[in-house]
């Protein structure tokens, strides 16, 4: 089968490998049909590492994927060959303290697809996964939409962590795939007014299509003041998705007393500073989110019911042999790219 | 009546004033019997300000108090002359968005006793307060214990915000009156193991009397490592009560994935920094607390039932005319002081 | 001023009374502009009692009202003459255990407008109310819409109690004003599919206008089976708003394991029976709701923003001197009545 | 190996069977050391059925058990031969909607040890179980104590469902093993005052040893009135553990507004009736509990730390060949039995 590998900085190569065998009774052999390019994939592509997670070349990659069941192990119920599935890329142990406490997203033995030293990446024609990681999709959901299930489930998890009560006042700072996922999920979670900022004007337009009520350029002087003028009592909830430390300060200024800041963006420098007097007087809450838990099935259902409009996010498609182009496009924020999807179905 | 005023840095004077008249139908005229000296009172005493809240001399002071009802307005139910009461020093409007959302502790029009520009301070023989700020205490609770109701209610509020699930692993960093209140309230909130650190050895001993399971000197190298050795999976909850930025970093290191850091201490410098990668990977939550809401009645009940042992906290007593000594003692952390109480009952 | 009184079974009389004086510093003198006819008003009209709450004739009546501020007491902030307001008809003491626990809707000393032995009813040209019961409405909300604030806030409270997580599966059994309010509020609370049943075909049509996804006649054999066929895994949440014991059994059958039944309807006979084996095996939760708390301000905002469409509910209008017609209409479920509103503005 | 079977009403026989083989990579071969006799086992023994779950003879039995790991499958981490374990008897699929929603206790494909048509019962020398059902116990916990982990975890689950806030007022109606487990777990969950009633005087004495603050005979006239006299504002929480419909009515009378009734006891007749007017006016919540989820690990820790005193519950021991005596004893409530434990360690 055809498999993609990182082989150096900004280097991606496709090579042949033997197909994996279904080797666990609770497992599924999947044909991978589509893989989405995530910002974290591009981080590895460009820099070879994220924080202290360092690639060893060659390395497989990718975790946003959809596929078709080829074979199921004897202990599997609910899945059959030919079923089309969305994939949860986090393979968890089910036995550690975190899993047993209902927090598998911080499983002590977590194997994430395409993370260095963890599980094989998704950009391969076939992969074996535990059945519990595969979520059947109905006919009304395409394999391409199913690629969005992972980032959207991260968005829904962030929204659940934030706990929206209608009619909420919300800001989303940063309109990349995760910021937009949060916007879409916030809108299905409760009646809310969403203020959104981004540096790229074309992303503001996508945000409008995704339902944002107010868009402002993060480059503009006074964008925070403009929001505050609309909402003099302050916002209930801010999702910081840009990773820009300046936005974290803006977020605190925007919040009403008792408000919540959900930190989603990943800053370049690990240390960020906060004004503790502001936080304390307003009794703010800061929440961090680590991927997701329990949100894949709801997202499949929300897409199937047409409650989440995935169209504005699916901007580009590439066959497997042009995967490098997809990475360069996403890295350069070019052509209004939100999500580039790699199509493995014609791989040979 | 006799009233204390700040008249300059480290200057406190007692003078005579006319007694207040009961001027509101929902109000109560109280004889103030005891007032506790809070760290924030000492901040004003020593520095004339807290953050941007600046004293204008002369200024009344004090907010931890107990008293006896002298007279009640016509709209008051549930209170009668001669009743002894604990006092909630936060007078709220009941009409703003925060009050209406069940968050009176961030009331937009809050008048706090003894805060510059807000309500008159408690160190006076008589004060008029809304009936809803007065909580009757049973015979089993002394007027001196009632002075602790305010700081203990702040402790219970912090504990409720932190949400302990038995058998929890907790750290309290800093064993001043609030840290010890949190310790006492954590122990009634759920079966938990509490690790406690402080710079002062005598406070570690008080913490032991208040039920701490493990005490360590915050001066010692490796105090964090020592806790981590006892709890290799990490802690569920850390209450940072020292205001020391180094402790905030320790707190993050101590927490298990999914853990919560409750920020209670007030650092000298408003800005503090956090390691966002640690926060994000472990999906930590940071909660701030602003005084308390809804915790006064439960604390009165917990003291009355003997579930909270107030004895270790009540270390010093002074008559009104020696109030300056009380302030100097607390400022100097001398003689093992935890809470110094000013007794107005013999004032003349 | 003109005031309506119940003077016997099915007897309503209008008479003249002196206008009330503003007699409390935290009070407001309101001109009452519109009053809605509630099912509970009709219960008193027809039967003279609800449960053990018995009318003593003559008795004032009404609690769903809107008005205009004429005069404010000296302690009032945030309200000024000429402001138009929606009214929360529950006057609470703020001092009992329930109020202090954040549950004013079960205040031990609650005075509800128009309840026998409690506060004067709303059908009068002027009333004095605490300022905290008056919620200003913006220009975009009419006085007539403001009459719906009370029943809609009951609906929002029920929805909050039920805790909807998208994409939820919900049933509302009974499409009277409260059932429809729940439907409208559920739709703003989260993306959800709502199944609705009622005995009256014209109410199913109103439900459709209010956003119901599926409507079925409660008279039909097999209506429960029809819902179950659409939702083989069961529903997350059922709101029983009919008061019919048969519907309570249906509700249990419809729920998925872990589901919640919110009991809103008032049955004729106080005792109802449940199948405890079904409840236990499926670990169901039953919640009761008592009017509302904290939902008036959000409802005003939701109406003002156009997120709740009140038009389908406002079916009939009567001047004060034809108030009996309004009651007869609502009692007979005639002419497709949902909410009949009495207009006092031309009273003389 | 030796295995017990129900072979008819009140008939238990021990016979020989081949030992099971470890046949799943995520499985564990356990030597079963101790099995507790549960009330539900006795229901099957005496009546051959519980509700619509009917025994087909011969049938294995038992689910409260502890054991020693003999062999582990290749996919197992965290367990090794010779480890002593407490057992969660609920084998879940991990793939259905309930499991994926974090509710494995209502798993659609649940196989419970010793339930007719589900998984083999625990009274056998060896059993194969999924590793995730086995929880290692430290040296400080005996195999006999480990038998109590299952009923205690049911108690902790009920307590979590009830959500105790200190200082809570609680009643536990019925002091069998589950009622006592709830009492023990309530006491570690938060500072609370527990009122307890039972028909058997000797159980009231055990309740005292387990920490009950007030005990009353359920046979006495006026037991409810006696509790109400102590708690005129009503209770926050009642756990109905007797299955007696009269107790359900008592429970409603005892609750304060906003209170919660947790239904734990299993009545003979499936239908029970409630007074909906009382429920509604007081805005009560009724919660059902289905076994437990996520409480096994916390219970192991609480026993190991000595926070739960298991001694009063462990009243009787029998070797395997005298298992019928154990069942007769529990059925007759004789000799003050709370929990009878069958010891398989000397089986031959």
Task: Measure A135 CA to nearest chain D CA, in Å.
Answer: 9
Residue B302 lies in a domain: no
**Do C288 and D270 make contact, defined as CB atoms within 8 angstroms?**
no
Q: Which of A160, A166, A298 sits opposite C189 (nearest CB)?
A: A166
pLDDT of residue A306: 96
In chain A, pLDDT over 70 holds for what percent of residues?
A: 99
Cα-Cα-Cα-Cα dihedral of C9, C10, C16, C19, to 10°?
80
* Same domain, residue pair B81 and B172: no
Q: Which residues of B touch C132 (CB under 8 A)?
A: 94-95
Token couple for B135: 């909580």
Q: Which residues on chain B are in Cβ contact (under 8 Å) with D165?
A: 160, 298
Quick one: pLDDT at residue D337?
Answer: 97
In a domain, D216, yes or no: yes
Q: Number of folded domains in chain B?
A: 2
Quote the pLDDT of residue D20: 98
- State the CATH number of the domain containing residue C17: 3.90.180.10
Classified as helix, coil or strand, B218 is coil
- Both A144 and A160 in one domain: the answer is no
Same domain? A135 vs A168: no
Beta strand extents in D143-183 (DSSP E only): 168-173
What is the pLDDT of chain B when averaged over all its residues? 96
pLDDT tens digits, A185-206:
999 999 999 999 999 999 999 9
The verdict on D143 and D241 lying in the same domain is: no
Q: Averaged over B303-330, what is the pLDDT?
A: 97
Segments forming the whole domain that contains residue D101 = 2-148+313-343
Going by their DSSP bridges, the two strands D111-112 and D168-173 should be labelled as unpaired
Q: Which residue of D has its CA nearest to C284?
A: D288
Nearest residue to D30 via CA among D18, D39, D38, D21: D21
Domain of residue D277, CATH code = 3.40.50.720
Measuring CA to CA, which residue among B143, B58, B147 is closest to residue B346? B143
Q: What is the pLDDT of residue B196?
A: 98
Chains with ≥3 CB–CB distances under 8 Å to C: A, B, D
Q: Is residue C56 part of a domain?
A: yes
pLDDT of residue B221 exceeding 90, the answer is no
A144 and A159 part of one domain: no
pLDDT category of residue A347 using cuts at 50, 70 and 90 = low
Is the Cα dihedral B94, B97, B103, B106 positive or negative?
Answer: negative
Same-domain check for residues C256 and C324? no
User: A: neighbours with 3+ CB pairs under 8 Å?
Assistant: B, C, D
Angle at which helix D39-47 crosses helix D323-331, to 10 degrees, equals 100
pLDDT band at A294 (very low <50, low <70, confident <90, very high): very high
Question: What average pLDDT values come out for chain C (348 residues) when binned by 10 residues?
Answer: 98 97 94 97 94 93 98 93 98 92 96 97 98 97 98 98 96 98 97 97 97 95 93 97 92 96 92 92 97 97 97 98 98 97 82
Q: Are C262 and C238 in contact (CB under 8 A)?
A: yes
Query: In a mutagenesis test of the B interface, which of C27, C73, C95, C110 is the best target, namely the one with the most B β-carbons within 10 Å?
Result: C95
Indicate if D144 and D202 belong to the same structural domain.
Answer: no
pLDDT, tens digit (0-9, with 9 covering 90-100), for D260-287: 999 999 888 889 999 999 999 999 999 9
Q: Check residue C347 and give its pLDDT.
A: 57
Q: What is the mean pLDDT of residues D314-328?
A: 98
Query: How high is the pLDDT of residue C27?
Result: 95
Give a yes or no: residue D293 inside a domain. Answer: no
**C8, C138: one domain:** yes
Of B247, B272, B288, the position where a domain reaches its end is B288
C-alpha span between D24 and A74 (Å, rounded):
10
In a domain, B338, yes or no: yes
D123 found inside a domain: yes
B188 CB neighbours in chain D (<8 A) are 166-167, 190-191
Q: Distance (Å) from the C-alpha of residue D166 to the closest C-alpha of chain B?
A: 6
Both D119 and D232 in one domain: the answer is no
In a domain, D247, yes or no: yes
Question: How much is the pTM?
Answer: 0.95
Q: What is the mean pLDDT of chain D?
A: 96
Which chains have 3+ CB pairs within 8 A of D? A, B, C
What pLDDT does C50 receive? 87
Residue D303: inside a domain: no
Phi, psi of A24 (to 5 degrees): -140, 140
The pLDDT score that the predictor gives to residue B50 is: 87
Contact B297 C101 (CB under 8 A): yes
Q: Name the minimum distance, in Å, from the CA of C65 to any CA of chain A.
A: 23
A94–D94 C-beta distance less than 8 A: yes
Q: Measure the CA–CA gap between D256 and C106, rounded to whole angstroms.
A: 10
Residue B94 CA to residue C92 CA, distance in Å, equals 12
What is the distance between the alpha carbons of residues A282 and B155, in angstroms, rounded to a whole number?
18
Residues C225 and C193 in one domain: yes
A-chain residues within 8 Å CB-CB of D75? 24
What is the DSSP track for D113-140?
Answer: BTSTTSBPPS-BSEEEEEGGGEEE--TT
Residues C166, C137 share a domain = no
Q: What would the two tokens of residue B281 be? A: 């990977």
Chain B residues with at least one Cβ partner in C under 8 Å:
24-26, 75-78, 93-97, 100-102, 109, 131-132, 294, 297
**pLDDT score for C126:** 98
Give the DSSP H/E element, type plus range, for residue A30: strand A27-36
In this structure, of A110-119, B55-64, D82-91, D217-226, the range with the lowest mean pLDDT score is D217-226
Q: Looking at residue B347, what is its pLDDT? A: 57
Q: Percent of chain D at pLDDT above 90?
A: 91
Q: Which pLDDT score is estimated for B40?
A: 94
Question: Which token pair is D237?
Answer: 């929480």
CA distance D190 to chain B (A): 4
Per DSSP, the residues of A272-283 read EEEEHHHHHHTT
**pLDDT tens digits, one per residue of A156-171:** 999 999 999 999 999 9
Q: Tell me, what's the ipTM?
A: 0.95
- Nearest by CB to residue A277, choosing from B257, B270, B287, is B270
Place of tokens 């006026």: D222
pLDDT tens figures, D138-185: 999 999 999 999 999 999 999 999 999 999 999 999 999 999 999 999
| pLDDT digits 0-9 by tens, D241-264 | 999 999 998 999 999 999 999 999
| Secondary structure element (H or E) that encloses residue A325, with its range | helix A323-331
Kindly determine whether residue C273 and residue D275, on different chains, have CB atoms separated by under 8 Å: no
Q: Are residues B20 and B86 in the same domain?
A: yes
**Residues of B with Cβ-Cβ distance to A279 under 8 angstroms:** 263, 286, 288
Residue B233's pLDDT is 96
Size of interface A-D (CB pairs under 8 A): 38
């Amino acid at each position: 089968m055809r498999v993609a590998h990182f082989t150096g900085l900004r280097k991606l190569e496709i090579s042949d490998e033997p197909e994996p065998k279904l080797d666990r009774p609770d497992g599924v052999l999947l044909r991978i049909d589509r893989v989405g390019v995530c910002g974290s994939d591009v981080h590895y592509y460009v820099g070879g590492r994220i924080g202290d997670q360092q690639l060893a070349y060659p390395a497989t990659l990718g975790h946003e994927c959809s596929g078709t069941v080829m074979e199921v192990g004897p202990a599997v119920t609910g899945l059959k060959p030919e079923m089309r599935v969305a994939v949860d890329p986090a393979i968890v142990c089910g036995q550690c303290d975190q899993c047993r406490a209902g927090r598998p997203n911080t499983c002590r033995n977590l194997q994430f697809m395409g993370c260095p030293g963890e599980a094989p990446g998704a950009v391969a024609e076939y992969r074996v996964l535990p059945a519990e990681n595969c979520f059947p999709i109905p006919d009304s959901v395409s394999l391409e939409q199913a690629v969005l299930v992972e980032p959207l489930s991260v968005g829904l998890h962030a929204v659940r962590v934030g706990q929206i009560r209608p009619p909420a006042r919300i800001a989303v700072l940063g309109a990349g795939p995760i910021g937009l996922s949060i916007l879409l999920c916030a809108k299905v979670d409760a009646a809310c007014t969403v203020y959104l900022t981004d540096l790229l004007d074309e992303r503001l337009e996508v945000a409008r299509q995704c339902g944002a009520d107010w868009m402002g350029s993060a480059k503009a002087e006074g964008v925070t003041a403009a929001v505050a003028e609309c909402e003099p009592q302050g916002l209930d909830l801010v999702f910081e998705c840009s990773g820009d430390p300046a936005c974290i300060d803006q977020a605190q200024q925007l919040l009403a007393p008792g408000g919540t800041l959900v930190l989603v963006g990943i800053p370049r420098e690990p240390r960020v500073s906060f004004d503790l007097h502001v936080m304390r007087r307003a009794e703010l809450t800061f929440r961090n989110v680590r991927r997701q838990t329990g949100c894949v099935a709801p997202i499949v259902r929300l897409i199937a019911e047409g409650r989440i409009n995935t169209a504005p996010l699916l901007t580009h498609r590439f066959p497997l042999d042009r995967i490098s182009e997809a990475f360069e496009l996403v890295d350069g924020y070019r052509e209004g790219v939100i999500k580039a999807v790699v199509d493995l179905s014609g791989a040979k």
